[in-house]
Amino acid sequence: MRNSRTRETVLAGLFIAIGVMLPIAFHAVGAGGPIFLPMHIPVLMAGFVLSPVFALIVGMITPLLSSVLTGMPVFMPMAFIMMVELGVYGLVVSLLSKRLNTIFTLLTAMIAGRIAAGMMVMILVNVVGIKFAPPLVYLKGAVITGIPGIVVQLIFIPALLVLVKRSNPKLTANH
C-alpha cells in the first residue's frame, strides 16, 4: 500500500510539473494555450495512470500552481475555472479508463470537464459577481478555440498510452 501511494505521489508531482512546463514551451514558440490546450495533456494522461483521487488532485493543482508561478492561466477567473475543468478531466478519465476505450474515455472526460467549467463560470458570474462571459458563450468559445488542441489530444494521448504500456505495463495496470 505504501509503495502504491509513494508511486502515485511521485507520478502526480511529475504530471503537475509537466502541466506547468508544457504551456511555457508552447508559448515560447508562439502556440497559444487556449488553442492547443497543452496543460490538458498531462492531466488527461494522469487520469489513465493514477487513481481517481490523485488524478483529481493533479487536475486541480496544475492550473493553480501554473497561475501562481507563471501567470498562465490568469489567476481570476481562469485558474479557478480550469481547476474545476481539469479536475473533472482527471477524475473522469481515471474512473472510466478501465471501462471504455481511450477515445470514448477522452471524449466523455472532455464533455464532463467543459460542463463543469460552464457551471463554474455560472457560479462566478451569478454568485460571486465577477464580470465574465455568460456560461454558454464561454463554453462555445472554449470549444471552438480549442478544436486544434482537442484534435491533438485525441491523436497524441492514445499514441502516448501505447508507448507507456509497452515500456512499463505496470504503470497503467493498477490504478
DSSP reduced 3-state for 111 = helix
Instruction: Answer for the pair 22, 16: CB distance below 8 angstroms, yes or no.
Output: no
Q: Evaluate if pTM is beyond 0.75.
A: yes
Give percent above pLDDT 90 in the chain. 85
Instruction: Answer for the pair 16, 65: CB distance below 8 angstroms, yes or no.
Output: yes
Q: Quick one: which of 87, 82, 150 has its CA closest to 121? A: 82
The parts of the chain modelled with pLDDT lower than 70 are: 1-2, 173-175
**What is the residue extent of each domain of the chain?**
2-173
Instruction: Answer for the pair 121, 136: CB distance below 8 angstroms, yes or no.
Output: no
96-127 b/e (C-beta count within 10 Å ≥ 16 → b): bbeeeebeebbebbbebbbebbbbbbebbbee
- What is the CATH architecture assignment of 2-173? Orthogonal Bundle (1.10)
